[in-house]
Structure 1
Amino acid sequence: MYFLLQAFRPGRLLKLGTSWLVLAACSSREVPASALPVIGPDSTVRAAAGPQYQRGAVHRFFWGEHYRREWATPVEAPVFNLRTAVPGGLRPLQAGGSFQTKNLRLVDGAGQEYVLRSVDKDATKALPAKLQNGPIGRLMKDQTSVIQPYGAYIVPRLAQAAGVYHTNPRLVWLTAEPALGEFREEFGNALYLFEERPDGNQINNPNFGHSSLVESSRKAFTSLFTTHNYRVDARHYLRARLFDMWLGDWSRREDQWRWASFPGPGGTVTYRAIPRDRDHAFFKFDDGVMTRVISWFKANYQTFKENIRLQDVEGLNKAARPMDKSLLAYLSAEDFRQIADSLRLRLTDGAIKEAVGVWPPQIYALSGADFEHKLRNRREQLSAVAAKFYELLARDVELPGTDQAERFLIEAVAPGEVRISLLARRVAMADSLLNQRTFKAGETRTIKLFGLGGNDVFEFSGLPDPDFAISIYDGAGQDLLITEKAPQPDSDTDVTIYDSGDGNLLQLPADSKIKVEAYLPLANEFDAAGWLLRHRLY
């Protein structure tokens, strides 16, 4: 958990005057015998995902109740057998995962890959070795209890109702069976979620749209910024993002996604989003004295409650902001409204009840009714949340091209309105429209255009109102910047061209109010590879 790396560095703990509390609250304790796994005669196991998270009243007061009861409650899970899990069996491929989750990749005889993801988490590996077994490490491990251990288990049916792609995790108990080979000691005897791995050819998988090629964010974004033949289904991505907010899933950085690709006419390819890793859905953090204080400073650590506060929408989406700004830039307020209304209608009471009902009975008894109530209540707020989300993204807009040649057409279409069109430049035919959106004063204050690579054209048709601060960054290539209609001498505008001096041709009238400034592009403004720095993918 990265938030504990930041919030609980030793020096910071001493400044807070709470180091004594960590030492007292994180002392080791024995696992109750009643929580140890019991193997039944019908190849099932009765085990608790995290009995070690049971803590005393003082610890819970300071560090939160969280989902400790759910972690400590034994549930029944089938014993996982590599030979019979899928037709033809599975063999271990490689270990993986983040600093929190242990993953074991598996492959069947046809080359289809699956993954076992540990239900329990351990973020201490992100710490220096000398801190992992100390009070800081124990506190980090303890705060795994902010995660609903079986939250990811109910998401697929909710996603199916919402029209969002998803994996299908199954709760299983992995014994230390000999077939695990070199992974036997590290992975054996624990609860896991077993699911298909969204990668490669998924032509037979409806949950990924029957896509013949599913790619990582690194590969997909490299294609998107390298050539204009690739595009994202932005409305489909918006549906997934509003679904994230409904679940309270704030950890939606770029690596939490895969992309199903679909070939189109003229060699085009469209990507649709596949959300993955739902560990932080239904996050519960601010129910302890210390965790509440931390939540005041970390706006994205929001607790899953019955209400989505509009003032929290920005913080809830902080991790995904670079993606949202890139992929949703051309959607209108009406698009946001339509998708929110569609979600609200599709996420029926019946769909919610059916999804939560797949929990083990012991977990449903603890959380089922509460979750159904919260999900119903949050559903009714989706329209307001979508409007706020649009407002936040519309305020400051960034519109990148690609490393190929494009034409940016900036048109002053009406008082307080500017239309920006992005077109692919063609040699033997007319330029083809890639994207277009009309921006309105009052919603949008700054618009930044990035040519990236290629010999681009930035063309003005009239000058936008000074309500819009428009900036043009040429990037690589030799670009042409022109005004089609000369501005009147008394006209005013707030347009700045940042010229890198690499052979650009500026055709501006002598009395133009457009400002030109010499500029050395930053690495994340220069070309496609540099733009990936904004997405933590390069």
Structure 2
Amino acid sequence: MLYSCSSPAAPSTTALPAIRPDSTVVVAAGPQYQRSGLYRFFWGQHYRALWALPVTAPVFNLRTAVPGGLTPIREGGSFQTKNLRLVDKNGVQYVLRSVDKDATKALPVSLQGGMIGRLMKDQTSVIHPYGAYIVAPLADAAGVYHTNPRLVYLADDPALGEYRTAFANALYLFEERPEGDQRTVASFGRSAQVESSRKVFTNLVASNQYRVDARQYLRSRLFDMWLGDWSRREDQWRWASFSTGSGATVYRAIPRDRDHAFFKFDDGFLTHIIGWVKSNYQSFHENIRLQDVEGLNRAALPMDKSLLAYLTHDDFRQISDSLQRQLTDQVIADALHVWPAEVQKMSTTEFNQKLRSRREQLPAVADKFYQLLAREIELPGTDEAERFVVEAVGTDKVRVQLFRLLPQGDQLISQRTFEARQTRIIRIFGLGGNDAFEVRGALSSQFTISLYDGAGQDLFTATLAAGASPHVTIFDSGDGNILRVADPIKVEKYQPQAQEFDAAGWLLRHRLF
């Protein structure tokens, strides 16, 4: 698995085809979330007032919305959001994403209509109904890829055909669908091929010719934290692919589905208690909970550990400082003016204050995030042949280098130096191919280093300095490896677990199998 550290130029906002509304309508997204004062005391005020607020939205006519019209082709969505996929006359795909949500679909059918189902449905009010609407201009200023949602009202349009009953008469966000050829979309990097996470992670483990732009991904992740968007698991991303002159492919992250940005959960007696138990349910306050950056990022942790493994503390600081400079007061003010006028009156003051305050915390958040990821490091190879070199480079420091094995000579792919004051555990996974592992020098006993062979016949060698007593263990699955090592390096037999870095286990690890 390979990671590039270059960053693309900041994307500029693309324009969706101009929506030509036949009319406008004034409608509330969710008046059903209004509750009594006693109920709100226990279960929270959340964004109920915004859900009940009538806003002005253009009526979306499938026949005239874009030149040549749009044809609905498929219903989709997650457990909460209802989606309708559309295609224009040129084959370009778009999607209508429901503003209202329904989390009860994740429950067994027997519970959906009962008290638990009603409570889960009510907690849709923790989501800002128009939050995703302002993310695009903020992301554009931050240099983060993004979709460009527009608020529309879908009336009882006969052009919906078989989808008319399920989708008519509701508010939606109309946006591009990040998949396939997106050379016309600047906010997707004008990539000729946008891929799913499943396809990308399969490629990353298959060949060292596929790489992720790690600095660009980190920029997206720090932007997530600024927005308070904690729901960033693997299926919330798409990936813009770019070919390099050397024949490699670099992937850059496209975050999508901003439903949980600006989450507001802990303003009720019971939800406040739940929020401390479920630390990922962090509300969008003026201050980010620095003591629990881990909870805020729990959903994305498997991806973060894999994709950010070779970035240094300086990388984290540079990108957080860059975001601070780019997310100016004027950028924030301009983004908030994208909201419908009715929403601006209710939310602008609050969001101006919170976004500015959270921006000032970005360097501290980046430091905490780095410390979290640096505790235990996991460095995978690919299913091709590679060479790992683990070498002492100073007092309580170790450098790990990953080389691609080529007939004309080994090519350095990635490297990073780790310090014992930040990192104590390093796990290296060979995956497939006939790999080589080399251990060198006066390795500090402060590190616990584990080397996993994976498939193929691997070579392990050690050249230790006199008196060195490192904690290095080779995990040998017994498929014909050559071990040229001696004490104090340990060798243990093992059977790879279901979520180890190999084949289907890689997808299982990232919840994509």
Normalising by structure 2, what TM-score?
0.95
2:299 corresponds to 1:319: yes
Q: 1:450 aligns with which of 405, 425, 429?
A: 429
> In 2 relative to 1, CA 374–290 (structure 1 residues): closer, same or farther, beyond 3 Å?
same
Preserved CA contact (<8 Å) 1:473 1:525: no
Q: Given residue 448 of structure 1, which amino acid in structure 2 is its aligned partner?
A: R
Q: Does 2:461 match 1:482? A: yes
Is the 2:22–2:61 contact (alpha carbons within 8 Å) kept by the matching residues of 1?
A: no
After superposition, the C-alpha distances for 1:418-458 in whole angstroms (9 at most, x for unaligned) are 000011111x2111111100001100010000011111100
Q: Distance in 1 between matches of 2:275 and 2:234?
A: 23
**Secondary structure, in 3 states, of the residue corresponding to 1:523?**
coil
1:526 Cα deviation from its structure 2 partner: 5.1
Name the aligned partner's letter for residue 216 of structure 2. Answer: H
C-alpha separation between the residues in 2 aligned to 1:51 and 1:502? 63
Three-state SS of the structure 2 residue aligned to 1:83 is coil
* Counterpart for residue 11 of structure 2: none
1:399 and 2:399 aligned: no
Partner SS state of residue 280, structure 1: coil
Give the drift of 1:167.
0.4
The alignment partner of 2:298 has SS state of coil
Alignment partner of 1:506 is 2:483 = yes
CA distance in 2, matches of 1:451, 1:145: 46
How far off its partner does 1:309 sit?
2.0
Quote the offset at 1:83 in angstroms: 1.4
* Separation in 1, partners of 2:456, 2:293: 38
Q: Which one of 166, 177, 182 corresponds to residue 186 of structure 1?
A: 166
AA aligned opposite 2:212: V
CA contact (8 A) 2:22 2:59 kept: no
Tell me, yes or no, if structure 1 residue 530 matches structure 2 residue 509.
no
Give the alignment partner of residue 493 of structure 2, picking from 518, 535, 538: 518
Is structure 2 residue 420 aligned with structure 1 residue 441? yes
Tell me the CA shift for residue 319 of structure 1.
0.2
Q: 2:116 aligns with which of 136, 145, 149?
A: 136
Kept after mapping to 2: 8 A contact 1:405/1:424: yes
Is the contact made by 2:470 and 2:488 (CA closer than 8 Å) also made in structure 1?
yes
Q: Residue 413 of structure 2: SS of its match in structure 1? A: strand
Residue type of the alignment partner of 1:359 = W
Paired amino acid for 1:491: A
Q: In 1, are the aligned partners of 2:83 and 2:96 still within 8 Å (CA)?
A: yes
Structure 1 residue 482 displacement after superposition:
0.5
What residue in structure 2 maps to residue 36 of structure 1?
Answer: none
Using the TM superposition, give the Cα deviation of residue 42 of structure 1 relative to its aligned residue in structure 2, in angstroms: 6.2
Task: State the percentage of identical aligned residues.
Answer: 67
Among 260, 283, 301, the alignment partner of 1:280 is: 260
Partner of 1:27: none
Residue 28 of structure 1 corresponds to which residue in structure 2? none
Whole-angstrom CA distance in 2 between matches of 1:273 and 1:308: 24
- Describe the superposition over 1:186-213 as per-residue Cα deviations: whole angstroms up to 9, x where unpaired: 0010000000000000011100000000
- Aligned partner of 2:392 in structure 1 is 412
* Post-superposition CA distance 1:73-106 (Å, at most 9, x none): 0001000011122222110010000110000000
Residue 194 of structure 1 aligns to a residue whose secondary structure is strand
1:316 positional shift: 0.2
Describe the shift of the 1:526–1:365 C-alpha distance in structure 2 as closer, same or farther (beyond 3 A): closer
Shift of 1:130: 2.1
Out of 211, 214, 227, the residue aligned to residue 234 of structure 1 is 214
Does the CA-based 8 Å contact 1:407-1:457 persist in structure 2? yes
Distance 1:526 1:232 in 2: 17
Alignment: residue pair count: 493
Other-structure match for 1:25: none
Q: Which amino acid is the alignment partner of residue 519 of structure 1?
A: Y
Task: Name the aligned partner's letter for residue 416 of structure 1.
Answer: D
Q: Residue 476 of structure 2 aligns to which amino acid in structure 1?
A: D
Residue pair 2:443, 2:468 contacting (<8 A) in 1 also: no
> Unaligned 5+ residue runs, structure 2?
1-20
Q: CA deviation at 1:486?
A: 4.0
Structure 2 counterparts to residues 330-369 of structure 1, below 5 A = 330-369=310-349
**Corresponding residue number in structure 1 for 2:10:** none
Counterpart of 2:6 in structure 1 is: none
Structure 1 residue 268 corresponds to structure 2 residue 245:
no
1:463, distance to aligned residue in structure 2 (A): 4.3
SS in 2 for 1:435: strand
Deviations 1:487-537 (A, max 9, x none): 42x32110000111110000114xx31011111111222523311211001
> Secondary structure at the residue paired with 1:465?
coil
How does 1:46-445 map onto structure 2 within 5 Å?
Answer: 46-426=26-406, 428-445=407-424
Kept in 1: contact 2:179–2:196 (CA 8 A)? yes
- d(CA) in 1 for partners of 2:361, 2:106: 37
Give the Cα separation in 2 of the matches to 1:415 and 1:378.
Answer: 37
Q: C-alpha separation between the residues in 1 aligned to 2:69 and 2:485?
A: 68
Equivalent position amino acid for 2:426 in 1: I
Which residue identity lines up with residue 328 of structure 1 in the other structure? L
Asked which structure has the greater RCO (Cα within 8 Å, sep 6+), the reply is 2
Contact map agreement 2:443 2:464 (CA 8 A) in 1: no
Which AA in structure 2 matches 1:493? P
The aligned residue for residue 3 of structure 2 is none
Q: Secondary structure of 1:459's partner?
A: strand
Q: 2:18 corresponds to which residue? A: none
Q: Calculate the TM-score normalised by the size of structure 1.
A: 0.90
Contact persistence 1:48–1:72 (CA under 8 A): yes
Secondary structure at 1:362 match in 2: helix
Q: Is the 8 A contact 2:87 2:94 kept in 1?
A: yes
What residue is the counterpart of 1:15 in the other structure? none
